[in-house]
A and B are shown apart, each in its own frame.
Chain A
């Protein structure tokens, strides 16, 4: 996960309280989604950024997961996300995300 984004997530979690923050991802495949999700829950697995050794345990979802999709106005979702939904391996993303949440999510 981009170092600048790690810094922003860390600051927002401190500012609003980690229980009040949800991280929403738009990564293009499962592995990248899993890495980003792990970074904001267990800490930066690449030991490079501000979240190294920091386990925020934030709630984290990919925009193509059903829980998130249900929160959207269907017309907006159709306009903004449905095309990528067709391109992405959504099942792979759901598996990765679920696994990370089950292991590291605290909220």
Chain B
């Protein structure tokens, strides 16, 4: 059985106040250098919602502009105004902070998110008007809200994490336990943000795939947060929690973790679950990460740039059984960085790119587009991290030259031909290969591309359990349609026909013997 990409959803949330209050670069600075220049200067570099809307990479992320169109825009992009500034795109949407704070409350089933009465009254209608938000979600917002003085008290006296909008305290997230740090207000805040952005992505993906919510049987969450308590710190389960709010009543699910490589792992797992027949429809989802907001803020502020890491990211991909038209995931062409692969870049790229291709006698140039780490270079270059996708393409091209599959003279043109310009926010797992799946599906179905390779890589050493690097890759290809189905069926049919003929023959012999 084959598994296909039925649809994808990509969402962003503009969270300028969370940059200031929840990004770890800022929270660390507040501890070690509270009166420093950076914290004083930072608020002047925060973008408005309108500026975030007209930022080129954001419009690509939600599908209103294509990666090719972005590549044609001269960098830097932060001083350019995109000619499209819609908050909705055909992959998803860019949600403003005020709607998201209400959605966070809708996603909290333990009464931990408190919002100020007037704030809720002012913005409730806006969330209700959001096309993916239905009355079941709106009904989760409590009728009784909190007054400002009580919120201030909770933040001052009860260790609650403040929720801010335009610099004003408009709510808070309470701790869920007095002693357990895993249920502290900080952790609950981080996890509810991840959950709420995952819900937004799930709803967008299900809508885009044109399936009924009831069809979803399994959800895999591949974000980088952990939810649990002191006795099971990463117990889970974000997947099922988000599915509940999204109204996927027939789904269960589980969390897959692997740092930035997790989305690629999760996609392979989803494709395998469907291909095996275990489940008919699986959705891979991930919400975003507050800790990474403003991560490179110091470099951006120092260089006089706006804070571009003000977006929470989310994505979801619907994987279903073959429909005869949607692009399929080729489970016979998987790249794996194994324990024995080693850490030399050459070994890494070979394990992820050429090993799976060799199995099928394919060359590097037989893959039309590669989607490795799709970090937006507008964010990473001023921070001294270079152009991450471009560095990947240079390595793949160099490997192709070494293998005699590309002329050395064509090294420079390889990235434009087989690569993409990065557009994804630096939210760890969010840029990792998967931002391209939506475009890849469309381009393959339009006949523009035949095969694309999605590559996920992860820095496992950050967890201090291993020094190993990790990565997996998979290939999405045009639906091979009837041919393969026919070939598969015909083998079964032949066996059946032979068995029937044998039975008939035996019956004839028996009849004759009688």
Residue ranges of A at the interface with B (Cβ–Cβ < 8 Å): 28-29, 79-84, 86-87
Contact = CB atoms under 8 A, between A and B. Distances in A.
Interface in B326-350: 342, 344-347, 349
Contacts of B408: 86
Interface string B353-364: 000000000000
B401 A86 contact: yes
Nearest to A80: B344
B273 to A, nearest CB: 35
Contacts of B344: 80-81, 84
Interface stretch (B87-95, B290-298, B392-400, B426-434): B392-400
B175 to A, nearest CB: 33
B346 A81 contact: yes
Tell me whether chain A's interface is mostly helix, strand or loop, or mixed: helix
Contact of A83 (B386, B391, B398): B398
B402 interface: yes
B391 A82 contact: no
Contacts of B346: 79-84
Contacts of B347: 79-80
15 contacts: A28-B386, A80-B344, A80-B346, A80-B347, A81-B346, A82-B402, A83-B345, A83-B395, A84-B345, A84-B395, A84-B398, A86-B398, A86-B408, A87-B394, A87-B398
Interface residues of B, number: 16
Contacts of A80: 342, 344, 346-347
B411 interface: yes
Contacts, number: 34
B395 A87 contact: yes
A101 B489 CA distance: 69
Contacts of B399: 83
Interface string B396-419: 001101100000100100000000
A84 B347 CA distance: 11
A105 to B, nearest CB: 26
Nearest to A78: B402
A58 B309 CA distance: 40
Nearest to A86: B398
B345 A86 contact: no
A28 B349 contact: no
A5 B408 CA distance: 36
Given A80-B342, A82-B402, A87-B394, 5 more contacts: A80-B344, A81-B346, A83-B345, A83-B402, A84-B344
Most B CB atoms within 10 A — which of A29, A79, A86? Answer: A86
Interface in B364-407: 386, 391, 394-395, 398-399, 401-402
Contacts of B349: 83
A29 B387 CA distance: 13
Nearest to A31: B384
Nearest to A79: B346
Contacts of B345: 83-84
A99 B386 CA distance: 24
A79 B402 CA distance: 10
Most B CB atoms within 10 A — which of A80, A83, A84, A87? Answer: A83
Nearest to B395: A87
Contacts of B342: 80
B60 to A, nearest CB: 26
A79 to B, nearest CB: 7
Nearest to A82: B402
Nearest to B393: A87
Most B CB atoms within 10 A — which of A79, A84, A87? Answer: A87
Contacts of A87: 391, 394-395, 398
A22 B341 CA distance: 26
Contacts of A83: 345-346, 349, 395, 398-399, 402
A79 B408 CA distance: 18
Contacts of A82: 346, 402
A29 B386 CA distance: 10
A28 B391 contact: yes
A90 to B, nearest CB: 12
Nearest to B398: A86
Most B CB atoms within 10 A — which of A81, A82, A84? Answer: A84
A87 B411 CA distance: 9
A86 B391 contact: no
Nearest to A63: B344
Contacts of A86: 398, 401-402, 408, 411
Nearest to B411: A86
Contacts of B395: 83-84, 87
